[in-house]
Amino acid sequence: MLQRTTSVKDIEIDSLAISSVLQIGDSEYIHGFSRAIAVQRQVELFFGNEGNFADYPIFSEPITLPPVSEKIHLTRQNINPFLKVGKIDIIGVSSSAVVHLGNTKHVSLETRIKHIRQLLPKS
């Protein structure tokens, strides 16, 4: 793992929600996962038995990552092993997002949202 030291004098985050992470320090693995069903209706109505993720294939379909076929050559020279930041100001972090100050070896993040609009028929 890349060995660098991060120094942040001040960090301000207004909102951290829905499976989000503020990680200060090194980590081996970060895996974020979030799913939601968002229903927008013209009339406020809730039946009590809604929101079953199994009813929507988008939550169970495998995510296929495109293959990386290009050869990548990377040369890095970290003359100074310290990353120094004065202030980080973040309005919001949400839906399986990560704010990470430090080193990470593996990161995997996934958010799946099913948006449904239910409108009254035109009369």
Helix (H, G, I), strand (E, B), or coil: what is residue 36?
Answer: strand
Q: How confident is the model over 6-42, as pLDDT tens digits?
A: 889 999 999 998 878 899 988 899 888 888 888 888 8
Helix (H, G, I), strand (E, B), or coil: what is residue 121?
Answer: coil
Q: What pTM, to 2 d.p., does this model score? A: 0.68
Confidence at residue 4, expressed as pLDDT on a 0 to 100 scale: 79
Cβ atoms of residues 12 and 92 within 8 Å: no
Phi, psi of 54 (to 5 degrees): -65, -20
Q: What is the mean pLDDT of residues 79-87?
A: 87
Instruction: Give per-residue burial for 80-114: e unless 16+ CB within 10 Å, then b.
Output: eeeeeeeeeeeeebebbbbebbeeeeeeebeebeb
Q: How confident is the model over 41-69, as pLDDT tens digits?
A: 888 877 777 788 999 999 999 998 889 89
Residue 94 has pLDDT above 80, yes or no: yes
For the chain, the domains span 5-118
